Chain A
Amino acid sequence: MKPTDQTPPPAASFWNDTGRSGITAWLFSTDHKRIGLLYFFSVFGFFLVGVVLGLLLRIELMAPGRTIMGPQTYNALFTVHGVVMVFLFIIPGFQGSFGNLIMPIQIGARDVAFPRLNLFSWWLYMGGAAIILTSLFTGGGPPDTGWTFYLPFSSRTGTNVSLAVFGVFIVGFSSIATGVNFVTTIHRLRAEGMTWGRLPLFVWSLYATAWVQILATPILGITLVLIIAERLLGTGLFDPSRGGDPLMYQHLFWIYSHPAVYIMILPAMGVISDIIPVFARKPIFGYKMIAFSSLAIAAAGSLVWGHHMFTSGMSDTAILVFSFLTFVVAIPSAIKVFNWVSTLYRGSISLEAPMLFSLSFILLFSIGGLTGLIQGAAATDIHVHDTQFVVGHFHYVIFGGSGFAFFAAMHYWLPKFYGRRYAEKPAIIAWALMFVGFNILYFSMIVLGLEGMPRRYYDYLPEFAPLNLLSTIGSWILAAGLVLLLVNLFRGLRSGERVGSNPWGGATLEWSIPTPPPTENFEEEPVVSHGPYDFRGAGIP
């Protein structure tokens, strides 16, 4: 989507220059900004697919018994909702879109270290996504295993599990390649004066995330290959009747999939750390603690996977250790929250859309984190494990956290690339609708879980009916807000008010170059002489 404009953007902008023409100028571009936009529209497209599936699930659950679909369709839909949202939206989401768009500019580089590998990552991602989509309409139909693909069920079902798993496998390679690219870029391509202590916190969070991608994703790859081997070759690794162990699959799956949660949330924390200082006109409080806590979360978060298995029959000693480590991870997250709130102290706060989404991130993420404590404690986890409580908790962290941070980033950074902005008032109404709808939708699930309603339930007992109806109503309010957000944002980017190079008064490098950025980002290599949140003398926009 290009800004429709009477006066074209400056000739040097990345929108017009390249050797190629038409669609190939995008599909084969090695420019990090073009690849960033390719990623943005791909992941956001899949996000909208996931939203529609989620809304359908909620309609089915608004009353007991059959509402709009049968159990097989329901089981397939919650599986596809999970696979699309996790593997096609939120894992590649931040790194691929805003990581690509912003990170090289923020460190003063012309591009990432390996531009062609970067393009290849996107192609791998689209290839994997195409295979996953194909699996829905061929063979035995869409997989019905849940996004966790637990064995032995996933080796017995007649649905198209193997192909879907193969698609996820391919997407994993895209993630590894991006991780390698970003680690190298951040180490090697920082401009003169861009010391580690002056890196914007968004870059710090991408750096921590990239290491998780490199180290954890290969294990997912191996695990997925083993599922396919189990289905096609009948290896029996996870089949107890042939000496296998179903719990081994769960260990392998969560060794990746728990760190993957940090791939989803760490960049979101980076976005928040970049936005709050700008709208409070104050340096971030505790820069070093926030940067360090990202690394601490990435490291300790790789050792807590067993907390997904407290009821599985794993040994009690393992539960002791995993419960302890899970509580350890809570500490750096708490430190971040305290530092964000302290940044507001004696600032000059302006509540524009990026800031509203960021502040509500703090609240929703806190609720997600605090409900996580219930699941970290061994005794209480037993009751809420595999219930709607977990569904509510996860959505508070990943949708209320990462999702709201993604919306904040869209309002904050997209105008930089389009040269035009959204209208403020509809954006605030959209935020309010989403915030209210979100809490109705997911807090109902938390209560339902405490009452004992298991998750992945097509049908439920009458005692769970009122809260399920309430939750569904919440989903409609949230969806209404989302539609308003989209219409307002994209209409603004096409034909809204023009913005200059620094509409928010930010102090990081992306605000020092023209809007939209030129292809090479910087006319001459920048020399950095101040920190990323040094607003002294910057004035208020």
Chain B
Amino acid sequence: MDPNLYTTTRAVDPIFMLIFGISLVLLMGITATMVGFVIRYRRSRAPEPTSQVASNIWLEIVWTALPTIIVMGMFYYGWAGYLTLRNVPKDALEVTATARMWSWSFAYANGKTSPKLYVPVGKPVLVHLVSEDVIHGFYVPAFRVKRDVVPGMKNHVWFVADKPGSSDLFCSVYCGLGHSAMVSTVEAVPEAEFQSWLSHVEGEEKQGEGRELLEKNGCLGCHSLDGSRKVGPTFKGIWGRNVTVVTGGVERTITVDEAYVKRSIREPAADVVKGYPSVMPPYPALSDKDIEEIVDFFKELK
């Protein structure tokens, strides 16, 4: 951890302190004055008002001028801090974040993609924001950064992690059923570890390619691997399971096989498992070979 590194968090937090500090003083002042007056001039103690004063031009000038100076100061510091959030350091590592209902995918310059945002510690990261459907929001509270992910619009955000660790990444703009499940993490790792992760050739993991495809395409945002219920049905024990599906309004029971898996990916609205909403978008990018890999993974997932 480098205490001199100028991070987005260090640019924003003093402004929070400034505004909260002044606000607290004002609030205490108003409350204390009000409560003080109520106690001192309560009717049992002050049966008649002792003044009928209705205005004082000097007081009005003071309490117009004073708030004006205070809020203009807040405005200035707020703007200055915001400029830090907008001025991307030149040497920033570029990543493209793609948001879709309801998952994140992060693509690096060498073509590697990941459902988690891996970044090197101490190096600024510039994230380009792309939406495939509706408006989402890229939000990492730990770095005080947020930017809407608007379809058809080029938005970006930057931050730098000053120590290794995992930080939550949320979707901040309401985007439907799975909005609150559209969660990922920023994984800050030392530069060397990051480079080896980045250059790591895909497909070598022990878990196999099927699982990686599910992760990369965001399937696991809505379908769990451990049997828990999310937006969609779990993948655990899916192979050969008998399920009741609704096809064009009619219920029927089918057995999960390769044809069903393929149809569910290509035309998700055709057969919807009973009790679940018909909200999944089609994934035409997955090839027949990809689907075979996924099926192989399902067969193992008891």
Q: How far is the CA of A482 from the CA of B38 in the complex (A)?
A: 25
Q: Which chain B residues lie closer than 8 Å to A283 at the CB level? A: 52, 54
B152 to chain A, nearest CB (A): 2
Q: Is the CB of B68 within 8 A of A331?
A: yes
Query: Are B79 and A313 touching (Cβ within 8 A)?
Result: no
Q: Given the complex of chains A and B, what is the CA–CA distance between A246 and B134 in angstroms?
A: 9
Complex Cα distance A506/B32, Å? Answer: 27
Tell me, yes or no, whether B164 is within 8 Å of chain A by CB: no
Return chain B residues, CB-CB under 8 Å to A347. Answer: 37, 41, 46, 49, 51
**Which residues of B are found within 8 Å of A193, using beta-carbon distances?**
none
Residues of A within 8 A of B52 (CB): 282-283, 536
A150 touches B173 (CB 8 A): yes
Bound: A334/B68 CA distance, A? 10
Task: Count B-side interface residues using an 8 Å CB cutoff.
Answer: 83
B150 near A313 (CB under 8 angstroms)? yes
Give bound CA distance, A347 to B42, whole Å.
8
Interface string of B156-177 (1 = CB under 8 A from A): 0000000000001011111111
Q: Would you call A456 an interface residue if the criterion is a C-beta within 8 Å of the partner chain's C-beta atoms? A: yes
Among listed B81-89, B201-209, B249-257, interface-contacting one:
B81-89
Which residues of A have CB within 8 Å of B150? 240, 246-247, 312-313
Is A487 interfacial (CB-CB < 8 Å)?
no
A contact residues, total (Cβ < 8 Å): 87
A337 an interface residue at 8 Å Cβ cutoff? Answer: yes
- Return chain B residues, CB-CB under 8 Å to A240: 150-153
Residue of A nearest to B78 (CB): A377
Binds A, one of B90-98, B139-147, B192-200, B286-294: B139-147
> Which residues of B have CB within 8 Å of A387?
172
Residue B268 interfacial (CB < 8 Å): no
Q: A280-B41, A319-B82, A387-B172 are in contact. Are A312 and B148 (CB under 8 A)?
A: yes
Q: Of the candidates B15, B64, B84, B134, which one forms a contact with A380 in the assembled complex, judged by CB atoms under 8 Å apart?
A: B15
The stretch of A36-44, A86-94, A131-139, A361-369 that contacts the partner chain:
A361-369
By a CB distance below 8 angstroms, the chain A residues around B177 are 71-72, 75, 144
The contact string, 1 if C-beta is below 8 Å from chain A, for chain B 217-255, is 000000000000101000000000000000000000000
Q: How far is the CB of B167 from chain A (nearest CB, A)?
A: 9
- Give CA–CA (A74, B179) in the complex, Å: 12
Q: Which residues on the B side are within 8 Å of A362 (C-beta)? A: 30, 34
List, in ascending order, chain A residues with CB within 8 A of B280's CB: none
Q: Given A330-B71, A349-B42, A363-B34, verify A377-B155 contact (CB < 8 Å).
A: no
The interface-forming segment of A152-160, A174-182, A217-225, A432-440 is: A152-160
With A144-B176, A285-B53 known, 15 other A-B pairs at CB within 8 A are A156-B133, A241-B151, A246-B152, A280-B49, A313-B148, A345-B41, A363-B31, A377-B79, A379-B84, A382-B85, A386-B146, A456-B180, A458-B180, A459-B180, A459-B181
Task: Please tell me if the beta carbons of B11 and A379 are within 8 angstroms of each other in the complex.
Answer: yes
Nearest chain B CB to A457 CB, angstrom units? 4
CB A347 to nearest CB in B, in angstroms, measures 5
In chain A, positions 271-307 with a C-beta closer than 8 Å to chain B are 280-289
Within 8 A of B (CB), among A303-354: 311-313, 316, 319-320, 323-324, 327-328, 330-331, 334-335, 337-338, 341-342, 344-351
* Highest count of chain B CB atoms <10 Å: which of A247, A334, A458: A334
> Does B60 interact with chain A (Cβ within 8 Å)?
yes
